[in-house]
Amino acid sequence: MIMPAARHNFQYADNLDGGGGYDLHVHTTASDGKLTPGEVLLQAVRLNLEGLAITDHDTVDGIGPAIEFNLKQKLALELIPGIEFNTEAGPNEIHILAYYLDYQNASLLQKLQELKRSRDERAAKMVQRLKRLGLPIELDRVREIAGGEVLGRPHVAEAMMEKGYVYSIKEAFARYLGYNQPAYVPRYKFRPEEAIALIKQCGGVSVLAHPGLIKDQRQVARIAEMGIDGVEVFYPEHSEQQTVGYLEMAQSRGLLVTGGSDFHGGLDERGKLGSIRLSRERIETIKNRLAQGAADFT
């Protein structure tokens, strides 16, 4: 059995000693990140990264600006278009990463609009519940914090912090916004298998994000059996035991091995940009899997 997640001192997935490599899990202000796409790219250059994947939650709005900034500034970073879908399997929140997908695909954009509407409605309901709990915040302020992008629980939590109701986002989730807490509102039911199928339709590869954070570890094997392409083995909050366990699982099932920092910026507890780096060889393996998949349809 793979044990629950715990922090450890792994810094680089492929022993790159801080030079080069790819970070395949990066967020921007398009979802709940603190830095704009351009700011993220400049930081990546300073850290000597070869490339990165923009993987915002349920939106691809950061990809275009990142590509444009990269070209305009002649940064020569390899940008991988991606996304992180938030899905659910029963009470378990399952995140599915996608890489190299057609981020302008009509079916994808339609689904993302549907998810955005559901997130807006969810945020409004959470605000209503907090008001009934004697913790009033303004929905307009939550939208301001989100910067007009996809609304999420972290934005609600920040509004609560401003009011002095909680000291941290972590406390807001633990006491009010987390699963089974008094202001929790179930998300739109988007199942992992739906996300995997949509990613395939958009020509991308699908990867199970941070499996160590999934409460019911039996779900990891179930997701692997749904036709997913890979597993995020290397992750800042995975213990050494978890990392080894997921690596063995991926290898035994013929799944891609990926990793990333889950960088959000700011002063949160997530990984620093480039704290997990994959080698160019692993990126080539992903590209080869994509090429093979395309060949299977010709």
Q: Which CATH superfamily is domain 22-112+187-296 in?
A: Metal-dependent hydrolases (3.20.20.140)
Domain boundaries, given as residue ranges, for the chain? 22-112+187-296, 113-177
Q: Which CATH architecture has domain 113-177?
A: Orthogonal Bundle (1.10)
Render pLDDT for 64-122 as a digit per residue (tens, 0 to 9).
Answer: 999 999 999 999 899 999 999 999 888 888 999 999 999 999 999 999 999 989 889 99
pTM: 0.84
87 close to 94: Cβ distance less than 8 angstroms: yes
- Interior/surface letters 104-139, b for 16+ CB within 10 angstroms, e for the rest: ebeebeebbeebbebbbebbeebbebbeeeebebeb
Answer yes or no: is pLDDT of 188 > 90. no
Query: 62: pLDDT confidence band, cut at 50, 70 and 90?
Result: very high
Whose CA is closest to 125, among 133, 32, 33?
Answer: 133
